[in-house]
Structure 1
Amino acid sequence: MEVALVHGRGGEGWTMPLPGGAVTYHADLAAAVTAIETEARGGFDSGAGGPEDDHQTATAHASSRAGAGAGAGAGAGVAEKDRNGGLRSGHDQDAPGRADFGHGHPASPRWVLADAAQDYPPLLQAGARLDRCRDLRLAERILSRVEGREPPAVTAESDPDAGTLFEREPEPVDGPAILVRLQATWLDQRRRTAAADIAGLGTLLAAESAGALVAAEMSRTGVPFDRGVHDRLLRDLLGPRPTKGMRPRKLQALADKVIDAFGHQLNPDSTKQVLAAFHAAGLDVKNTHSWELASVDHPAVEALKVYREHARVWSAFGWNWADSWVSAAGAPGAEADPALADRGRFRPVYMVGGADTGRWGTDGGGALQLPHAVREAIRAEPGWKLVAADAAQLEPRLLAAISGDRAMIAATAADDLYTELAPRLGGERSKAKIALISAMYGGTAGDAAQLVQLMKDRFPAAFHRVESAARTGEKGGLVRTWLGRTVPAPSERWWQTLNSEDGTRSATGRGRFTRNFIVQGTAAEWALVLLAVLRRELHERDLGELVFFLHDEVVVHCPAEHAAAVGEVIEQAAHTATTTLFGDMPVRIPLRPKVVDSYSEAK
């Protein structure tokens, strides 16, 4: 069952079963959603087929495809429909309940939302939880790019006042009319999904929407954060908090070292002034990026590097950042124990699919760039633990899977893939790592070219997969991830550039992007399924709260007595994500849970 949902004013709203059901008005939308979820679960017939049945169907399709593509030539057709990732045939890829990989209760409604990032937080605030949803905005972005075009700015509007520049009297919400538009978009997307005939597309759409629920819930839950520890870390690194307009004492001392190295006054935060200082010293420095300065012989280089590292912590993750992004509310029991008064929650705003590859981003808060200098402040509350886990060498393992390279797939059985491959890729772990990363990212500097040639000789299917993606991208073609996320089509300006003197550079740059797109994008898909399964298991077993996600890493906050069980759930979720994408293909992607008190202890 799929049900469209529209918010009104003051907690009211409307729902409509799709397609063509009756519109129902609810004075308390959150209460109605909770009642519908509860009733659906209570009326579930266990004989109708549950998550296990869906998962078996999914893995059967994946197994069939994996078996057909495990030969030496697997992965040759980068954008061909039969290579685009797949768990289902085209006719059932978007059928309700068939693309959920066990995500959510099978009897729960799938709520159809214009934009979960806007529509779900008010429900969470009111105490309602959605088991699963279909996010039309996220789906439109995926489908538009499958069709070789960019998505519209607005797919379906659920709030007529959204984006209003000036305050005005709120207009009445015409819920039934908005539901009609949502239904039209929903029907159109279902038709286009089937027409695309990409076997994994339904699973990708379900996973992306599940990610939207996870993102909203993590933002509301927040990461447990100790402002007292954060202040201590900043004081140790930078000195006491300064008055407005001044640098912290220790940071100013580092700035003075930069000034002394150049021998005259300048602002080390000014790229223009730093470049001018290098030029005045007779050095032809093009920019102040670290890789440009690495080969520059001048005493200011090291001083500038250290200053910038510290300055970034101050400006991006210092006291002002904590004032803006960490809640002031103390942990439970703070009234009795003043030491708990500094406990709060860091609540970033996540952007699902913020990057073209499907990787997440953040709309403020910088959660995905937290420096090690402040990670100690992320601390479990008393009586609780953090269970952190990251996937070991995720992208190289997924390259093995999407290419069907038998030798490389066999090597994924090892805990350390680089060590396992070292005898065949230069004899040293470091060289094996360079070979794999260079193949995936197009590196040729130093020993990379020779090591990539070894990669080509020893693992031809894996090499051909990324090389073919690069060549397709250079020609302006489209490539897709395992489940079907499609690279953005080249702009008109890009095509025009091909005929100019910068044409080769533009083609090479796009080829480098498409080379990695198929791997990094598949990694994002794997992570989405992991999150969806982990979200379900943590909720159904009441084990803890998912509080943080970074590309291939998850952090769960849980009572200490549940930590071991949470670790097992994380490992099982990783296994489910792997089998959901690849069936019984013997690729291994280990996720290593670690129980810690502070995030700084996780690595």
Structure 2
Amino acid sequence: MPVVLDRKGDSVVARDLDDGGVEVAILEIPSETLPAYVAERDAAEHPRWVWSDTAEWYPRLLLAGVRVERAADLRLCRRILRSAEATSSTPLAGLPRDGWDAAAAAPVVEPGAALFDLTERVERGPAHEEYLRQADAVARSREPGVLALLLAAESVGALTAAEMSHAGLPWSARRHDEILTGLLGARPVAGRPERMEALVVRLRELLDAPELDPDSPERLLRALQNAGLPARSTRSWELKELRHPAIAPLLEYKKLARVLTANGWNWVDSWVREGRFRPVYVVGGVVTGRWASDGGGALQLPHQVRGAVVADPGWKLVVADAAQLEPRVLAAMSGDAAMARAGRAQDLYEGIVESGAVADRNEAKYGMLGAIYGGTTGVSGRVLPRMRRVFPDAMRLVEEAARAGERGERVRTWLGRTSPSRGGEGYDETLSSEARDRARSDARSWGRFTRNFVVQGTAAEWAMCWMGSLRRRLWELGEGAQSAARHPFDRRPHLAFFLHDEVMVHTPAEFADQVEQEVRAAAADAGRMLFPSAPVEFALTVAQVDSYDRAK
């Protein structure tokens, strides 16, 4: 049964709806008693809570010690339904843009804040009316079953994101300082760390540029050119093509500068509190449905600092990585039996080698990346014809998606998330020669995007289903361990980190073996939910470790 929550002044209105959307009960609840009301009903009835935006409602419930089993995030669902081709003929698709189309507010809730802030961050209409509009759009759509699964997965993803931010990723500031000191030298009071400063001195000598500031791209480029180097930019991949004694220390400097800027001492001061890094995740923040992060760089944690992610005493980190997820998703989507057989190997690339399509693992990897991302040169271009012969159904799927994009058509993921339309000029013989060339180039670029969209977006859907199943399994696994804990995850195994095709569970050590089993079972659940008849195995590598750097 859905329970729709709406704001009304300093109170919240809870509407119970039956499966047909008819209101069967209504209750006005003072804001200060809302957490107790939600906790009691969730424990007794497990309703689906329906609210405007998980990022606005759920963090304060978590702060009050309340975890919910299910919810529908109307803002996230509106975004999917608004653009899905399957709902293009429904009344919702034709509505003028309003507050339900606005971006997430994503507030950060700090201990000591008001328990429940009823200030509407975005002006929206009543939540129960929007819920009925969305239910109508799904019912009228061409694919109500798969769309309903996509909306449920996106909504549980929002719950998971809020819970991971609330629980936090265990982070040792002391260990982080040791890592930075080893890489950069001691933390400076002012200026650059000593190792970086030594590299600057060396670069000034090698380039004969006494005033060189390597943090300035303009000055650095000028210094390289003055030294006789044909540098066109200061990007690392271009610098690697140059031959000069200054290139190696320059690349080393750039690597250290990235660590200092993105995850240096200032980052720790800003983002790590009481032994936890609490990033703000943006669910569906990428057009394909992948997550993004709003501050803290959670999805770009470099390997150099992962040793600072340390389990609490008596706890373990269980880190699971879905091996070659996108190629396996492609095999399942296309029904390519030969690629499915290759995927029965733990390492799908080795399975491709065994199929006879390519000579070695390197060719298999680059050939598959070329197929999914549109690479036509180098190793990718050389092996793609062989991949087409051995895996015709898989190659046909991505190439048809690319051609659709080149024609200006939209494509969709397995569950119906639909790509945006291509803007700009289309190909037209009446255009100038220069404009026609630009149109052809734009079309090819968009074709590479749509080729990747169908696979990457479907892989994101698989990952959300994986996390959703694992979230439920972990809660059931930890049952009975919570009675004396103040917050929902104090004593339970819980998701602590997510990175596209990788999850991390922070668990009491006594549950670690069971957590590993549940991680694998949840991956199997996700495969069955999306591809119930496909003979594709979604292999995982799983490690039980004390610190993140030991997982790989």
TM band (smaller chain): 0.7 to 0.9
Cα 1:144–1:263 change in 2 (3 A) is: same
Deviation digits for residues 473-529 of structure 1 (CA, Å, limit 9, x no counterpart): 1111111111111111223x4559995242122111111111111111111000000
- C-alpha displacement at 1:261, in angstroms? 2.6
- C-alpha displacement at 1:285, in angstroms? 2.8
Opposite residue 184 of structure 1, the aligned amino acid is E
- C-alpha displacement at 1:599, in angstroms? 0.3
SS at match of 2:378: coil
Distance 1:122 1:8 in 2: 17
CA contact (8 A) 1:385 1:558 kept: yes
Cα 1:561–1:137 change in 2 (3 A) is: same
1:420 counterpart = 2:423: no
Opposite residue 16 of structure 2, the aligned amino acid is P
- C-alpha displacement at 1:294, in angstroms? 2.6
CA RMSD of aligned residues (A): 2.5
CA contact (8 A) 1:7 1:119 kept: no
Residue correspondence of structure 1 range 220-369 to structure 2 within 5 A: 220-244=166-190, 246-264=191-209, 265-327=211-273, 329=274, 344-369=275-300
Out of 120, 131, 137, the residue aligned to residue 69 of structure 2 is 131
Distance 1:324 1:158 in 2: 25
CA contact (8 A) 1:4 1:179 kept: no
Distance 2:546 2:118 in 1: 47
Partner residue of 1:6? Answer: 6
Opposite residue 261 of structure 1, the aligned amino acid is L
Residue correspondence of structure 1 range 583-594 to structure 2 within 5 A: 583-594=532-543
Opposite residue 38 of structure 1, the aligned amino acid is A
Partner residue of 2:412? Answer: 480
Partner residue of 1:555? Answer: 504
Deviation digits for residues 537-595 of structure 1 (CA, Å, limit 9, x no counterpart): 11122151210111111111111111000000000000000011110321001122211
Distance 1:488 1:7 in 2: 33
Distance 1:427 1:174 in 2: 62
Question: What TM-score, normalized by structure 1, do the two folds share?
Answer: 0.80
Partner residue of 1:190? Answer: 135
SS at match of 1:23: strand
Out of 24, 27, 41, the residue aligned to residue 27 of structure 2 is 24
Cα 1:503–1:320 change in 2 (3 A) is: same
Deviation digits for residues 375-424 of structure 1 (CA, Å, limit 9, x no counterpart): 11100111111111101111111111111111111221111111111142
CA contact (8 A) 2:208 2:227 kept: no
CA contact (8 A) 1:545 1:556 kept: yes
Partner residue of 1:93? Answer: none
Partner residue of 2:452? Answer: 516
Distance 1:511 1:221 in 2: 41
- C-alpha displacement at 1:531, in angstroms? 0.6
Distance 1:31 1:375 in 2: 38
1:505 counterpart = 2:505: no
- C-alpha displacement at 1:293, in angstroms? 2.1
- C-alpha displacement at 1:291, in angstroms? 2.4
Opposite residue 251 of structure 1, the aligned amino acid is M
CA contact (8 A) 2:98 2:124 kept: no
Higher deviation after alignment, 126-135 or 383-392? 126-135
CA contact (8 A) 1:16 1:179 kept: no
- C-alpha displacement at 1:13, in angstroms? 2.3
Which ranges of structure 1 fall in alignment gaps of 5 or more residues? 41-107, 164-171, 330-343
- C-alpha displacement at 1:24, in angstroms? 1.4
Cα 1:583–1:315 change in 2 (3 A) is: same
Distance 1:486 1:122 in 2: 33
1:540 counterpart = 2:545: no
Residue correspondence of structure 1 range 343-492 to structure 2 within 5 A: 344-423=275-354, 424-491=356-423
Opposite residue 451 of structure 1, the aligned amino acid is V
SS at match of 2:222: helix
Distance 1:434 1:113 in 2: 44
- C-alpha displacement at 1:117, in angstroms? 1.1
Distance 1:24 1:557 in 2: 38
CA contact (8 A) 1:211 1:532 kept: yes
